[in-house]
A = this chain, B = another copy of it.
Amino acid sequence: MAKNDKLVQDITPRSEDFAQWYTDVVKKAELTSYSPVRGAMILRPYGFAIWENIQKDLDRRFKETGHLNVAMPLLIPESLLQKEKDHVEGFAPEVAWVTHGGATELEERLCIRPTSEVLFCSHYAEIIQSYRDLPKLYNQWVSVVRWEKTTRPFLRTTEFYWQEGHTAHATAEEAQAETRRILQIYIDFYENVLAIPVIRGLKTDKEKFAGAEKTYTVEAMMHDGKALQGGTSHYFGDGFARAFDITYSDENNELKYVYQTSWGVSTRMIGGIIMVHGDDDGLILPPRIAPWQLVVVPIALQKPGVREANEKLVERLKANFRLTSDFSDKMPGWKFSEYEMRGVPLRLEYGPKDIEKGQVVAVRRDNREKIFLKIDENLEDNIQKILDQIHNDLYAKAEEELYSRIYEADDYETMSKLLTEKPGFVKTYWCGDVACEEKVKADLQASSRCLLEEEVPEDACCPICGSKAKYKIYWGKAY
């Protein structure tokens, strides 16, 4: 083998060092590369293609529900960021500041957007006059910058890619309905596209978005039992509208404030895909966002007719599937490992014997099951069925992992023991006091994930302080 052939190198087993396994997979599958800027990642073609597939699906869902894409500027004047008090307190410590344009010092510093609420608000104040202008349902696909101290590809980077929706409504009810509508889109996307089950609910006041009245979240459980906040949908009430003076004349010509929402999911999702589905051989990509759903590997390529038959197969399947093929002179075994490591959901092996029998050998990435497929008019349907089955099986496996690791605790000792010894989430009652959240953080390095939508019995107590419970809540360690 030539010295420059890339070898399928060993990946650290998950049980040995999960963080190292993650880093190995991200690098070896060529998803990202480190960049010359601390904490900012380069999204390589394979990583970016996953993001493109995520974008395509979500963008369709947003448009079907009446949302329009726009593009707001990258930079925010310092005075504009300061207009909403909670918001600036939440974000100012972690923004990057532009102070010079060319050789000239700017009169006012500009920050690179950490999120774009204030830009949308100042635009809405300008373009909304009448109830006929409402609702405004805008979204944008951009990157944002947050000056994080410790960074990891996809999970926490100084620059990341996301969509941010920002909407304005005539009434609180409509805005709340939007917040929940989007939460439902996120849940559906996680489950039906990424094959990742999520828990969902409200964030506590401590954990909610800076400036929001309510923050809904979807939370996924990674293979190591830790939580990944997977997407958030915020209800702002009229707080931003008052700060930015966004008003409209209603049907009776009375001046009213609008009610707003914002919501976003980011390239973090790709970190979630890796850590929920991956195994010790590398990535396992859910078929609906895999850049390549199939890889065609010719067997005994040197034998007469094999190349032509494989080319014909590739040509045929390209019409229905995202696929790649490998006609290089590397050994089939090398190719098997390589495309397994890169998480291609289904491999098609096609050699002289198969050609003779009019079949192709399909091998599933997730469970290595080997399936013989007749090459007839049903081939595409049968492949699609396998891809759907892979999706369902990935989901079922992740669901089993999630629910088998959600525990309940009624007292602080049990809660502590679980959060210290058992990877996973713990459900408890909670009084609603931030002091209890801070104690859990300090004692157990765990944070509240979200509130359950469940009634709390009259006599239930907070296991942390013993006071009367108001909520039931999930706790967990988180990325």
Contacts and interface: CB of A to CB of B under 8 A. Distances in A.
A60 interface: no
A110 B37 contact: yes
Nearest to A32: B71
Interface string A46-59: 00110110000000
Among A5, A71, A76, the one with the most B-chain Cβ atoms within 10 Å of its Cβ is A71
Given A4-B129, A103-B93, A76 B37 contact: yes
A145 B123 CA distance: 21
A77 interface: yes
Stoichiometry (number of copies): 2
Given A40-B73, A98-B98, A35 B161 contact: no
A77 B4 contact: no
A49 B37 contact: no
A100 B96 contact: yes
Given A48-B69, A97-B100, A75 B110 contact: no
Contact of A36 (B70, B119, B147): B119
Interface in A401-427: none
The 10 closest A-B CB pairs, nearest first, are A4-B130, A101-B147, A45-B68, A40-B73, A43-B71, A97-B100, A35-B73, A99-B99, A96-B98, A37-B75
Range of interface residues on A (Cβ < 8 Å): 35 or more
A71 B48 contact: yes
A138 interface: yes
Interface string A71-102: 11111110010000000000011111111111
A126 interface: yes
Main secondary structure, interface of A, reads mixed
Contacts of A102: 92-95, 147
Contacts of A104: 147
A159 B71 CA distance: 11
A44 B69 CA distance: 8
A35 B71 contact: no
A33 interface: yes
Interface in A123-170: 123, 126-127, 129-130, 132-133, 138, 142-143, 145, 147, 158-159, 161
A82 to B, nearest CB: 12
A238 to B, nearest CB: 20
B161 A71 contact: yes
A145 B138 CA distance: 23
Contacts of A147: 101-102, 104
A122 interface: yes
A137 to B, nearest CB: 10
